[in-house]
Amino acid sequence: VKSIAVLTSGGDSQGMNAAVRAVVRSALFHGIEVYGIQRGYQGLLNNDLRPMDLRSVGDIIQRGGTILQTARCKEFMTPEGQEKGAQILRDRGIDGLVVIGGDGSYQGANKLSKLGIKTMALPGTIDNDIPFTDFTIGFDTAVSIVVDAINKLRDTMTSHERSSIVEVMGRHCGDIALYAGLASGAETIIVPEVPYDLEQVALRMQENFQHGKRHSIIVVAEGAGSGEDVAREITARNGIEPRVTVLGHIQRGGTPTHNDRILASRLGDFAVRKLMEGDSAKSCGIINGEYVATDIDTVVNTKKPFNMDLYELALRLSQ
Ligand code: ATP
């Protein structure tokens, strides 16, 4: 491998910059030329590539977002678009590509690999919905942001409102709700992976207040329903009117935590090393501290298992 490119695609996440930095610096360390592709697959089709040097990724490890920007690109979903992208890379003598993004971006990388471009995919999403890695890049920061928000809500709740519903992101994955809920002592965590009974939730809330509890926090994953709907259902059952906070895109911003920076640094370097070995169409992950490369095909066709142990622990501790 003499020359590789890197792009970020789909929704951005904190730590993408740290991953880009790791890919660039690791490649240069090994004497490999690196190109940065601006705005994901759209930028590839627009031939928007620039050579990256050591300084081009200076002062970004601590920044949220992505200096390469990201985009969604319809044209790249078509076989013609994919062939055009592969040809642009071939013409420039680029034989390897690192894609940082979510599952859609993974599929794009898979298609390019079938056209002879060696590809590595890195899990860049706050949702933690990509299997064959313990965590995705951005998840740790998103959870910290939710925990911080719940801390603040607790202060005001204990003085005024007594119950709060916090709706968090994660799409069809409940991990942000689960980890943030456990870490912030939420009374109830509602996730798409576990069936829930609002009758029980409302009853429990009422009983807890009767037994002297002064505040109650319910974390709702967006994939399980909206915070407003849950609030309405609860009020209808027990008369309590919880305040709803929808955290939204705040969860995707801000400086990445050290965990995300280290994960991104390790995975970026791992991707370059795998490309140097001649490997392709793999998703890079870390499981129990060990590097793991898994076929993208397997990754996109597997649902990430839900951590029931943590969920049950959260339940036991939220009496
Ligand atoms: P997030 O999980 O944050 O939304 P994502 O990577 O899943 O990130 P998508 O919008 O699904 O986001 O995909 C990003 C881009 O990847 C698409 O705009 C498209 O260009 C490309 N892509 C998605 N699916 C495919 C596919 N099946 N084949 C080729 N390219 C694809």
The answer to whether the CB of 130 falls within 8 A of the CB of 299 is yes
pLDDT tens across 95-114, in order? 999 999 999 999 999 999 99
Identify which of 140, 150, 124 has the alpha carbon closest to the alpha carbon of residue 175: 140
**254 closest CA partner among 153, 163, 177, 142:** 142
pLDDT class of 90 with cuts at 50, 70, 90? very high
**CA–CA dist 222, 220 (Å, integer):** 6
The mean pLDDT value for 158-177 works out to: 91
Q: What is the mean pLDDT of residues 256-267?
A: 98
- List pocket residues of ligand 1, CB cut-off 6 Å: 9-11, 41, 72-73, 76-77, 101-105, 107-108, 111, 125
pLDDT of residue 195: 97
**CA distance linking residue 128 with residue 38, whole number of Å:** 24
CA distance 206 to 35: 59
* Tokens linked to 6: 């890197």
Query: Per-residue pLDDT for 164 more than 70?
Result: yes
Q: Residues at the annotated binding site for substrate? A: 125-127, 162, 169-171, 222, 243, 249-252
pLDDT of residue 202: 95
Scored b (16 or more CB within 10 A) or e, 49-84 reads beebeeebbeebbebbbbbbbbbebeebeeeebbee
Band of pLDDT at residue 161, cut at 50, 70 and 90: low
Residue 52's pLDDT band, with cuts at 50, 70 and 90, is: very high
CA pair distance 272, 30, nearest whole angstrom = 9
Which one, of 277, 281, 269, lies nearest residue 118 by Cα?
281
In this prediction, residues 273-291 reach a mean pLDDT of: 98
> Catalytic residue numbers?
127
Taking a C-beta distance cutoff of 8 angstroms, is the pair 314, 181 a contact?
A: yes
Q: How far apart are CA 45 and CA 117, in angstroms?
A: 15
- Label residue 212 by pLDDT band (50, 70, 90): confident
CA-proximal residue: ligand 1, atom 17 (nearest): 72
ipTM of this complex prediction, to 2 decimal places: 0.95
The answer to whether 216 touches 209, Cβ cutoff 8 Å, is yes
Known binding-site residues equal 11, 21-25, 72-73, 102-105, 125-127, 154, 162, 169-171, 185-187, 213-215, 222, 243, 249-252
179-188 pLDDT, tens digit each = 999 999 999 9
Among the ranges given (69-73, 158-162, 214-218), the one the predictor scored with the smallest mean pLDDT: 158-162
Mean pLDDT computed over 75-90:
98
Length of the chain: 319
How far is the centre of ligand 1, averaged over its atoms, from the C-alpha of 262 (Å)? 25
Q: Is the pLDDT of residue 157 over 90?
A: no
Average pLDDT, the chain: 96
**Residue 100: which of 206, 20, 184, 31 has the closest Cα?**
20
Question: Measured in angstroms, how far is the CA atom of residue 201 from the centroid of ligand 1?
Answer: 36
> Which region, left, alpha or beta, applies to residue 212 given φ > 0 means left and ψ of -120 to 50 means alpha?
left
Asked whether the beta carbons of 143 and 98 are under 8 A apart, the reply is: no
Per DSSP, the three-state class of 301 is coil
What is the average per-residue pLDDT within 231-255? 96
Indicate which atom in ligand 1 lies nearest the CA of residue 171: 2
Q: Which two tokens stand for residue 212?
A: 């002297």
Helix, strand or coil, per DSSP, at residue 112? helix
